[in-house]
Structure 1
Amino acid sequence: MNKLVMRFLTSVEGKYFTLAVDDIKVDEKGVPTVTSAQTNALMDLVIAKDIFASASGKLTGKKDAKIVVTDTNEVEIA
């Protein structure tokens, strides 16, 4: 499973808001294809639309973002 994890600055000093998007786009080999430009545009839109309520206050800027890739392998149990 691949997901995009974005952290936003908030109006409360030192506090962040995290938003994760599961099942992001991948190529035929399963490699994530989400670009930096797409991520920045999404984060800018989330901030501009002000649609998420956060216990840490209003979203005021971008902190960071990363793509998390989780690989699962079955283990044989005897």
Structure 2
Amino acid sequence: MSNKLLLKFLTSTEGKYFSLTINDIKADENGNPLVTDEEVNSLMDTIIEKNIFLTKYGDLTGKKSAKIVSTNSTSVALN
């Protein structure tokens, strides 16, 4: 199983957003994500506070959404 963290931020340009995807987030031995809501909120707050990303829509000004996306894959036997 593969897990991604999708973060979406508000920007200083009204109606425009900045998205950030973090691949292969920490997971347990069964592939279940181990990231907590508190960790995600803290990460997003730090990214906004430190102003570390330059976007075409200006500074990041707030949090819009966050999602953990898990995908499974199964190999298919080819004849």
CA displacement 1:29-69 (0-9 Å, x = unmatched): 11001000000000000000001011111100000000011
Question: Aligned AA for 1:16?
Answer: Y
Q: CA deviation at 1:72?
A: 1.2
Q: Distance in 2 between matches of 1:13 and 1:73?
A: 42
How large is the Cα RMSD of the aligned pairs?
0.7
TM-score by length of 2: 0.94
Moved runs in structure 1, 4+ residues, more than 2 A?
A: none
Q: CA deviation at 1:6?
A: 0.3
TM-score by length of 1: 0.95
Q: Tell me the equivalent position of 1:14.
A: 15
Q: Secondary structure at the match of 1:43?
A: helix
| Aligned length in residues | 78
Q: Unaligned regions of 5+ residues in structure 1, if any? A: none
Q: Distance in 2 between matches of 1:26 and 1:72?
A: 16
What is the aligned-residue identity percentage?
A: 54
